[in-house]
């Protein structure tokens, strides 16, 4: 394996296991990883929309995929730019919910909604893709939401048409992690430091907007 790709995947797995799984931020994360149902692709440089879409289709088409990730470790993009990219990619992938994760998530625990970007503070910019068939199968009866909503409430975030649904998801995550924010922050900082050091060693660009 290309050592650059190997380091990207290693750093991503740290975030997945130490943050997403440890704090139960995603209902599919651990089962998908352990069951071989997580598909990950890495795209280099500043990928075009076509490159993102092609990579997304590739991982979504992988056998058994329940959760797919497309990671862009060298992408120098502000959070607003990644959100705009997410919207463009989602428009071309009508069968999957798409959520963006960015290293610049700022800690603001004043409300559940304000905490969401911090919980999505991945080591690299990435898009998470979950087939709507999976979302339909796991949604709880008391959290009925249409597909537009589901695409927005991945990891408890977004602003779907029915605020009560998003509020309920975000509130659950907020209550779960609020008592452990210092520990969570330290873990995220450690992963970011590991990223910068290891990427410099193997030749991955470490230019990244963490703001």
Number of domains, the chain: 1
Q: Would you say residue 123 lies in a domain?
A: yes
Q: Would you say residue 201 lies in a domain?
A: no
Query: Closest by alpha carbon to 110, among 25, 183, 187, 174?
Result: 174
Q: Would you say residue 23 lies in a domain?
A: yes
Q: Which domain holds residue 98?
A: 3-179
CA dist., res. 44 & res. 54, Å (int)? 13
CA dist., res. 211 & res. 197, Å (int)? 19
CA dist., res. 90 & res. 128, Å (int)? 11
State pLDDT tens for residues 51-92.
999 999 999 998 888 899 999 999 999 999 999 999 999 999
Strand 67-71 and strand 38-42: the pairing is parallel
Q: Would you say residue 210 lies in a domain?
A: no
Between 9-23, 136-150, 152-166, the lowest mean confidence (pLDDT) is in 152-166
Q: Would you say residue 164 lies in a domain?
A: yes
Q: Would you say residue 81 lies in a domain?
A: yes
Which is more confident, 122 or 162?
A: 122
User: Whole-structure pTM over 0.95, yes or no?
Assistant: no
What confidence score (pLDDT) does residue 138 get? 52
Residue 100 tokens read as: 């963006």
């Amino acid at each position: 394996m290309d050592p650059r790709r190997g380091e990207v995947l290693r750093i991503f797995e740290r975030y997945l296991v130490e943050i997403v799984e440890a704090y139960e931020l995603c209902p599919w994360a651990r089962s998908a990883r352990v069951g071989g149902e997580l598909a990950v692709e890495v795209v280099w440089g500043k990928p075009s929309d076509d490159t993102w879409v092609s990579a997304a289709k590739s991982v979504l088409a992988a056998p058994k995929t329940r959760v797919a990730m497309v990671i862009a470790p060298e992408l120098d993009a502000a959070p607003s730019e990644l959100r705009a990219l997410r919207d463009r990619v989602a428009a071309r992938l009508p069968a999957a919910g798409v959520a963006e994760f960015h290293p610049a998530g700022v800690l603001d625990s004043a409300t559940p909604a304000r905490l969401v970007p911090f919980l999505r503070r991945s080591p690299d910019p990435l898009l998470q893709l979950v087939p709507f068939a999976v979302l339909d199968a796991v949604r709880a009866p008391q959290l009925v939401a249409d597909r537009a909503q589901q695409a927005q409430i991945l990891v408890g975030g977004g602003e779907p048409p029915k605020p009560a649904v998003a509020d309920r998801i975000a509130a659950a995550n907020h209550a779960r992690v609020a008592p452990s924010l210092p520990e969570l922050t330290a873990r995220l900082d450690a992963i970011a430091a590991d990223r910068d050091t290891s990427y410099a060693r193997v030749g991955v660009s470490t230019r990244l907007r963490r703001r």
